[in-house]
Structure 1
């Protein structure tokens, strides 16, 4: 492992590299945002339906077994 003898140079390099990477970020368009919102909403509804179905199904199974 390399020992850093000049920590302020390393901090400056890290800061410059971070700023360079942040400049590369592209903000999504309104259409892209809308697509992501619809996709996430549909996925959440699907998971809610799955969990609800499992809850009711397993509840009935437990009542049937232990009655």
Structure 2
């Protein structure tokens, strides 16, 4: 019996759903207050980097598609 009683005492009861939602929202705003917006120069730099990466990815996928298409035409006529 003592073993089951210690098990119950060790089990922590969770707060109700509304308290948990309130804690989540509070923590969310605390984390958002730590966010620092990038400067204009940083934003422009990252935008250019993303644009170049997307263009390179498009070129790679297009070349792969064209090459595999030509391979299929060569193999299967």
Distance 1:38 1:8 in 2: 44
Structure possessing the higher relative contact order (Cα contacts under 8 Å, 6 or more residues apart): 1
TM-score w.r.t. length of structure 2: 0.71
CA RMSD between the two structures: 2.0
- Is residue 31 of structure 2 the alignment partner of residue 21 of structure 1? yes
Cα displacement string for residues 17-38 of structure 1 (whole angstroms, at most 9, x for unaligned residues): 2221111110111011101110
Structure 1, unmatched stretches of 5+, are none
Residue-pair matches, total:
67
| Other-structure match for 2:59 | 49
TM-score w.r.t. length of structure 1: 0.80
Structure 2, unmatched stretches of 5+, are 1-10
